[in-house]
Amino acid sequence: MNDAHAIRNPAGLPPGSWLGMLGGGQLGRMAAHAAQQLGYRMAVLDPDLNSPAGAAADEHLCAPYEEPRALQQLAQLCAAVSTEFENVPARVMEKLAAERFVAPSAAALAVCQDRAAEKAHFARSGVPCAPHAVLSTAADCAGVSEALLPGILKTATLGYDGKGQRRVASREQLQAAFAELGGVRCVLEQLLPLAAEISVVLARGRDGAISLLPVQRNWHEDGILATTVAPAAGVSVALCRQAQAHARAIAAAFDYVGVLCIEFFVLEDGRLLANEMAPRPHNSAHHSIDSCSASQFELQVRALAGLPLPEVRQHSAAVMLNLLGDLWFDAEDRQREPDWAAVLAFSGAHLHLYGKAEPRRARKMGHLTLTAATPEAAAALARQAARALGLPCHA
C-alpha cells in the first residue's frame, strides 16, 4: 500500500502494514512493542548491530542514518516512518518524506533540534519561556546583558540529559564556559527560582486531533531524569490545565503530527515557562505503559498509522524511577546484578529493562514504575522500592 492511499483511507493503515523507525534505542524498542500489539510490523534503521529497538523489531536495517541504500530500503518497505530521538538529521526525514509519510515532519524536527529555534517557536505560539540570549561568538558573551546572570549556558544543538550545559554566575565564567563548549552557538538562559518541573506529553493526528497524557512532575539528578510522579504532585489543577493549553498551542503552531513532549518550569511566583520540547515519546511518560488506558508509544503508532487518537484515562497513580547503569556497580565499582527479586515482590511494581548488554554509569538501562490506587500509596511503594535498590526517590 502506498502512502497516498494510506492518507485517503479514513481507517488508516491496516494491520500487517510496515512502520519505520529511525533510531534503535529504548524508545524505538517500546514503540516496536506497541506497533506489534496493534498488528503492525516495525523496521528499525540504526547503525548499532545490538541496538535495543533492532532486537525487538521485525526488521533491523543496520546502517548509518544517511546511507542512501538503507533509506531506500526503508522507504520501499514502510508506509510511514517516525524517529525515536531528535538528533536524526532533519534532511533524512525530508528525503523520506518525498516517498512516504513521515511524522514528525523534517521542519518540526529541525525546530526541536535547535534551542534558539525552539524558543523562537515558543514565542510564535504565544507561550512564555525564560529570558535568554543566543550567543554565536566570544564577542556576544562579552556584550551579554547582566540581567541574564547567573544563568545556564546550553549548546544550541546536540544537547540532552544535561550534556552541553554549564552554570555560569559571572561574565568571566560565561566566557570560559563558552570556550569549554567549543565556541559553538549557544543559548544563555537566566537562572530562575524554580518550584517544580513538569512535562506534558501529547499526540497530535494528521487531522489535528489531540490526545493528552496526564501532566507529570519530574525530578532530575545531574541533569538526568530520576523520578516522575503522575498525576503531578503538588501542582494545581489550574496550572496543569494551563500547561496542557500551552502544549496544544505549541503543537498546533507547526502543524505537528506524532508524539510531542513539552517540559515546563513552575517558578516560585507561580509563573509557568516552557523549557524544552522533544519530538518523540519522553522518559517522563514511560509510566503510561502501566498506568494509562493508552501508552505514549501506542499514541505514537496510532498517529503514524493514521488511526483515531483516544482520550487517555489514567487508571492508576504512578511513580517512575529511572534505572541508570550506576545501579549495576557496588561501592567498590565492581559490577553486579541489581536485586530485581526484591522489587518485583511488591504488588504494583513493573520492571522494564531495555536489553542493553553493557551497563555504564549514567546510561539509561531501564525504568521501574510503581502503580497504586492513590498517589499516596504509589509514592509509599516507590520509596520502598527505591530503598531496596539503593536509589534516590523524590516521591
Query: Can you give the residue ranges of every domain in the chain?
Result: 3-102, 131-190, 194-389
Residue 9 confidence (pLDDT): 56
pLDDT band at 161 (very low <50, low <70, confident <90, very high): low
Q: Which residues of 72-108 are buried (b: 16+ CB within 10 A; e: fewer)?
A: ebbbebbbbbbbbbbebebebbebbbebbbbbbbbeb
Cell of 300: 505514537
Residue 7 has pLDDT above 50, yes or no: no
Which pTM does this prediction carry?
A: 0.94
Residue 283 confidence (pLDDT): 97
Residue 5 has pLDDT above 60, yes or no: no
The angle subtended at Cα 267 by Cα 266 and Cα 269, nearest 5°, is: 125
Residue 357 has pLDDT above 80, yes or no: yes
- With the CA atoms of 140, 144, 149 and 151 taken in that order, what torsion angle do they form, in degrees rounded to the nearest 10? -40
| Cα distance between residue 69 and residue 304, in whole Å | 23
Residue 158 confidence (pLDDT): 77
Residue 223 confidence (pLDDT): 87
Residue 164 confidence (pLDDT): 85
| Cα distance between residue 199 and residue 181, in whole Å | 27
Residues above pLDDT 90, as percent of the chain: 92
pLDDT band at 102 (very low <50, low <70, confident <90, very high): very high
Alpha helix stretches (DSSP H) within the chain: 3-8, 26-37, 52-56, 68-77, 90-97, 106-112, 115-124, 138-142, 171-180, 237-253, 288-291, 296-305, 340-344, 375-389
**Considering only 154-158, 178-182, 273-277, 299-303, which range has the smallest mean pLDDT?**
154-158
Give bridge partners of residue 211 from the DSSP assignment.
203
| Cα distance between residue 52 and residue 239, in whole Å | 37
| Cα distance between residue 50 and residue 55, in whole Å | 7
* CB distance 285 to 213 below 8 Å: yes
CATH architecture of 131-190: 2-Layer Sandwich (3.30)
| Cα distance between residue 92 and residue 71, in whole Å | 8
Helix/strand/coil for 53? helix
Chain mean pLDDT for the chain: 94
The angle subtended at Cα 172 by Cα 168 and Cα 173, nearest 5°, is: 25
Residues above pLDDT 70, as percent of the chain: 96
CATH architecture of 194-389: 2-Layer Sandwich (3.30)
Structure-model confidence comparison of residues 146 and 7, the more confident one: 146
Q: What is the pLDDT of residues 43-80, one digit of tens each?
A: 999 999 999 999 999 999 999 999 999 999 999 999 99
pLDDT band at 160 (very low <50, low <70, confident <90, very high): low
CATH architecture of 3-102: 3-Layer(aba) Sandwich (3.40)
Residue 6 confidence (pLDDT): 44
| Cα distance between residue 155 and residue 177, in whole Å | 10
Residue 3 has pLDDT above 50, yes or no: no
pLDDT band at 85 (very low <50, low <70, confident <90, very high): confident
Residue 252 confidence (pLDDT): 97
